[in-house]
Amino acid sequence: MIALIALQSSAKMGAKTTGDLPRMSSITVRKLDERLKKRLRVRAAKHGRSMEDEVRAILRGATGDGDQDDLGIAVHAPEVRPAGAGPASPADTPPVATTIRSARILLIIGGGIAAYKSLDLVRRLQDRGARLRCILTRAAHHFVTPLAVGALCGERAYTDLFDPRSELDVSHIRLARDTDLIVVAPATADLIARMAGGRADDLAAAVLLATDKPILIAPAMNPHMWAAKATQRNLARLVADGVRLVGPNAGEMAERGEAGTGRMAEPLEIAAAVEAIMRRPGPLTGKRVLVTSGPTAEPIDPVRVIANRSSGKQGHAIAAAAAAAGADVVLVSGPVNLPDPPCLAVVRVETAQQMLAAVEKTLPVDVAVFAAAVADWRPRHASQSKIKKHGRAPTLELVENPDILSTIAHRKSGRPRLVIGFAAETDHVVANAQAKLAKKGCDWILANDVSPETGIMGGDANTIHVVTADGVESWPPQSKNDVARALIERIAAAFQETKR
């Protein structure tokens, strides 16, 4: 209704989005019928905003694809605390969206007084499990130092497009692509103008131009600069290009005696907007999933281990597919040569005993998938110093490792609702898998033939037989990523089934 009127009129004027907000909101509020006006008043009071500011917030939200609010209007912007309300209490902290965990966020800090708040933003995002990289524009150096930002991020801050160290180390194209979201905070009028113009005249602008990832900007500037037609025109273009906005808020400016709209959104609000963007509901939203992956390495001495040829590709693909389906995923991985999949928590272990401890610590979960190739035995005694050659080969006494899958599947309390194992076989694949299903007490076994000629161990493809109490389902040969997706679909279907 409100949003509809405003958006239609702005479309007529050739600006689809926030470009004409200050003008439109004053017209719209006056023209509202009494019933809507009353609801708007209540909503504005709830958020501590004026009715005009409330309309602006609704219109900003209407450009995104957020939730429906109580006026039936799509709202994306997080709740805005009243200006000057002081720091938010911990109780204000929004619930942590599962998918912000381990998300890679590139924060671009523009040159405005609000840059000091970006240091707090780094912390807020890290508290939610995000991994941060930062770029500082040249102007930002006047407000925060690359040293302070780098120290907070745990990685040096990037500043220069033509820095040979950056280009050899992490090129601007990689900065633009190896991320899940780019946040520009503060987004100054100048940076917004350069973004809208498609400029690439410094590292920040070049990265923003080169990226194919979502962009969230938190504008911050003097109220007159914010209201300027040029700024609003640039913003309208950016929003039409799919860039999302959080803030600015109304309130006191840094300059004495200046007040109005232009304050950067508070770090908590920006963090909430990031969570809203990263939260991708899927068939496993609300489910907690544990995946084990990779080999284990059992020490013989400080330099030697008993290990196996597992690459971890299948387990990692399953964890990534579960996270992409909206699940809250913990991946417990032995030593692998793979990057961490995005949007999930990774616990790294070496030995079977460590893996069991990490798995038990992760419970309760709804689903547990045991894809790790756990070493069945470990040396009874690992030597504290390197075993030297003395002419005779040493004799290793081995002891059996705990069976992690069987331990969890046989738990009396806290057993995951769905326990899924793998069977790595070289002979009688299905028959051996059926025996393992019964012995280990799991619900499904994914059996595969790991004979060297199949190339499955370490390769990118897999051929799976799903063995359950109901029978055997044989899947065609496919990539490990496709196997992962098919398994996640089957898991989601099983939960749907039990709901009915």
User: Which residues in this chain contact ligand CTP in the complex, by CB under 6 A?
Assistant: 292, 352, 370, 372-374, 376, 401, 403-405, 421-424, 436
Helix (H) or strand (E) holding 271: helix 267-278
Let me know: does 136 contact 202? Beta carbons within 8 Å.
no
d(CA 133, CA 185): 13
CB of 301 to ligand CTP, least distance (A): 22
CB of 405 to ligand CTP, least distance (A): 3
CB of 292 to ligand CTP, least distance (A): 6
Give 394 or 402: the residue with its C-beta nearer to ligand CTP. Answer: 402
Let me know: does 148 contact 137? Beta carbons within 8 Å.
no
Specify whether 308 is catalytic. yes
- Per DSSP bridges, beta strands 249-252 and 259-263 are antiparallel
For the chain, how long is the longest CA-to-CA vector? 96
Nearest residue to 355 (alpha-carbon basis) of 420, 292, 300: 292
What is the number of other CB atoms lying within 10 angstroms of the CB of residue 392? 6
CB of 331 to ligand CTP, least distance (A): 13
CB of 302 to ligand CTP, least distance (A): 23
Judged by DSSP in three states, 470 sits in coil
Nearest residue to 264 (alpha-carbon basis) of 249, 244, 243, 245: 249
Give 119 or 424: the residue with its C-beta nearer to ligand CTP. Answer: 424
DSSP codes of every residue in 206-263: HHHHH--S-EEEEE---HHHHHSHHHHHHHHHHHHTT-EE--PEEEE-SSTT-EEEEE
Let me know: does 54 contact 69? Beta carbons within 8 Å.
no
CB of 318 to ligand CTP, least distance (A): 11
Give 187 or 409: the residue with its C-beta nearer to ligand CTP. Answer: 409
The pair of three-digit structure tokens given for residue 81, joined into one six-digit string: 């605390």
CB of 374 to ligand CTP, least distance (A): 4
Give 5 or 430: the residue with its C-beta nearer to ligand CTP. Answer: 430
DSSP codes of every residue in 394-422: PPPPEEEPP-HHHHHHT-SSS--SEEEEE
d(CA 51, CA 55): 6
Nearest residue to 121 (alpha-carbon basis) of 263, 270, 319, 289: 270
CB of 404 to ligand CTP, least distance (A): 3
Task: Please state, in angstroms and as integers, the Cα–Cα distance from residue 436 to each residue in 439, 442, 475, following that order.
Answer: 5, 9, 19
Cα within 13 Å of Cα(315), Cβ side: 34
Give 184 or 318: the residue with its C-beta nearer to ligand CTP. Answer: 318
Catalytic residue among 308, 337, 432, 448: 308
Give 426 or 496: the residue with its C-beta nearer to ligand CTP. Answer: 426
d(CA 114, CA 132): 19
Give 278 or 442: the residue with its C-beta nearer to ligand CTP. Answer: 442
Give 105 or 349: the residue with its C-beta nearer to ligand CTP. Answer: 349
What is the rounded radius of gyration, in angstroms, for the C-alpha atoms of the chain?
27
Residues annotated catalytic, as ranges: 308
